[in-house]
Structure 1
Amino acid sequence: MNALIIEDEKAALRNLKAIIAETGYEIAVVGETDSIWDTVEWLKNHSMPDLVFMDIHLADGSAFEIFHHVDITCPIIFTTAYDEYALRAFKVNSIDYLLKPITTADLIQSLDKLKRLEGKVATEEPGYLKLIRELQKQESYKTHFLIPAKGDKFIPIAAEDILYFYIAEGNVKAVDVNQKEYMFPQTLDELADSLNPHHFFRANRQYILSKKVIKDIDLWFNNRLSVNLKVPVAEKILISKAKVNEFKEWFTGN
């Protein structure tokens, strides 16, 4: 694996290279840069590496400026002394965000994560493009919602506390673990795209279900399934014949 290190502190650079050598991973450091423009020039004149180690505060400014000038299509491990940029980092191909001082154990954990992700995503495209898209998608799933309420207020709701979403009288609503009901401004299609598919399933046009709300499942007419919930609902929730196998794979998966 070829790696580029972007770091403007000589001591930090030496430490990172020593730690890389201790991880047991075969990583060749093919480039070292210490500024925005040095990095941009390097990336324009060399093949894209397999991995980038990137400090954020460089000699001539923020490393995020680099992304305005070149398209980095490989995974990035951020190495920084500042924790306030973590969310921004995960929008630009980051697989991990390590705070200095970095240890060998920290880096091994990051490289192990990269290896697991590579195992899940095919990489026939150059630059790990499929891997990066998968990472970006995972980081974009909603974990919390702010629901408008009376009196110019918002009610925070964690996605993990929602049992199911449904449509009633043209409105999208959600029921949480306390069986409280909330009105949502999004459409059911928008919610289906923003929720983690490991936890939520679009049962039909009316319902999105959390895995935790499912009590049991009945075989139904015409090779359909009828899903029974742990809480009362106003109507029967049916899975069409075309979606039965997808539903079974979702429910029994990790």
Structure 2
Amino acid sequence: MKIVIVEDELAASDHLVYLLNHINTEIEVLAIIDTVKAAVAYFSTPHDAELVLMDIHLADGISFEIFEQVKIDIPVIFTTAYDQYALKAFKVNSIDYLLKPIDEEELTDALTQFNVQVKEKEQGIDDDQLKGLLGLIKGDADKKSYKNTFLVSQRDQLIPLKTNDISYFMIDLGSVKAVSKDNQTYSLEDKLEDIEESLDPTLFYRANRQCIVNREAIVNLKYYFNGKLIISVNPVSKERIVVSKAKASDFKNWMGS
């Protein structure tokens, strides 16, 4: 089976390649493409690809824009972090999807389904399907999407860590650490400022310069001197999490919202 991966996050594409090789060593990844422009160029020329694994959000736009510029006449499996409403739309349009973080068993099932479809009839994406998907995306354009998974390194492999499973992010000895609900600590290469921008502000709050806390991890608040607050979290943080007097009122409003 010859596959093209369209994905702009290096860690995510590496993870896909790892899973594909683990599932079937005879799978050949022909190319890894990270932009709409590069994908249009690739599929505009003769190729041997039999299947495409495609992320929705790419470095220079939405992947559905590819189909407006070039015909892709082979099956596509989308990798997506969309909500259940969008996933239902994918089902209606008979296009396969995999919800990130990609699970090996689900990927295996998708590849099996692909093989079944190929035996019956090869299919790409028709105009009606494309219009439906573009309408879905454009109708949702004003809604900001937030990061729902962090790929973290653990020994010689990449581990998908769901954002909701992270209790707090903390700067420790100059590097950013993510502490999970089961009290595991993972190192991240991202800056805390960039992480803050990628998180849903209704669920995460930048308590101070060193820490971003998940609402669900907060056990209680304690009054501190000069109008400050101390946040108690679970799992317990080895560093005291203090909210300044200037942010205390805003933080309490956020907690009560």
Query: TM-score with structure 2 length normalisation?
Result: 0.48
Larger Rg: 1
